[in-house]
């Protein structure tokens, strides 16, 4: 708790109006990889509290108008963000996917983002399986919904299943990168996987 309160990114997020320090992870990766571009259709999986959707919105706003679409999904409620469509529910369920399809109106997705993390138990083998499951859900979703040149960015963790997840990314995407933004705590095993261009 002490680390969190004194975290410079937490303080910066409060100053900049972001809902979570995670905003700076996406901002840094986007600066390096130029992921978010005007006119894109972006889906933010596990979006609550919404800091990644806030960053995407900033990038898509031009002359006060959003040029593109942002759809955020989560099983937890999210306070509204102007110009961001929100679906409350589990994206594995047909009803939620139907709602997403209706919102997109036939448009394919340019970028899928996932900063999702499961509830961790502290038991390494159990947690590794949970983390892998969440990553696979995002990867399966992206493989189904992305346009051919689209991209997927997910949070993963160095651990038992990490190499297998990288292998799956390489089987799915033409280009795969691993990113560890400065806002990601040094002692954290978290790392981000970026896949671009479906095979």
52 annotated as ligand-binding: yes
* Type and span of the H or E element at 124: helix 124-145
- 3-state DSSP: the chain helix, strand, coil percent, rounded to 5? 40, 25, 35
**How many angstroms from the chain centroid is the CA of residue 10?**
19
89 annotated as ligand-binding: no
Q: How many other C-beta atoms are found inside a 10 Å radius of the C-beta of residue 40?
A: 19
74 annotated as ligand-binding: yes
Catalytic residue among 59, 155, 167, 182: 155
132 annotated as ligand-binding: no
CB-based contacts of 32, cutoff 8 Å, min separation 6: 179
50 annotated as ligand-binding: yes
Beta-bridged to residue 177, according to DSSP, are 194
To the query of whether residue 155 is one of the catalytic residues in this protein, the response is yes
**Residue list for the binding site:** 50, 52, 74, 90, 115
Q: Which residues are catalytic?
A: 155
Residue set of the binding site for S-adenosyl-L-methionine: 50, 52, 74, 90, 115
């Amino acid at each position: 708790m002490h680390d969190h309160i004194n975290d410079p990114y937490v303080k910066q997020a409060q100053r900049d109006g972001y809902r979570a320090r995670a905003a700076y992870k996406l901002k840094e990766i986007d600066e390096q990889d130029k992921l978010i571009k005007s006119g894109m259709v972006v889906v933010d999986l596990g979006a609550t509290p919404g800091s990644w959707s806030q960053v995407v919105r900033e990038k898509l706003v031009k002359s006060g108008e959003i040029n593109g679409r942002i759809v955020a999904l989560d099983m937890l409620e999210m306070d509204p963000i102007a110009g961001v469509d929100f679906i409350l529910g589990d994206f594995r369920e047909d009803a939620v996917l139907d709602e997403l399809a209706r919102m997109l109106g036939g448009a394919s997705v340019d970028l899928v983002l996932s900063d999702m993390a499961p509830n961790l138990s502290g038991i390494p083998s159990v947690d590794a399986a949970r983390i892998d499951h969440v990553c696979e859900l995002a990867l399966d979703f992206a493989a189904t919904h992305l346009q051919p040149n689209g991209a997927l960015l997910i949070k993963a963790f160095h651990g038992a299943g990490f190499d297998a997840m990288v292998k799956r990314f390489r089987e799915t995407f033409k280009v795969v990168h691993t990113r560890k933004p400065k806002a990601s705590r040094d002692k954290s095993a978290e790392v981000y996987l970026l896949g671009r261009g479906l095979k």
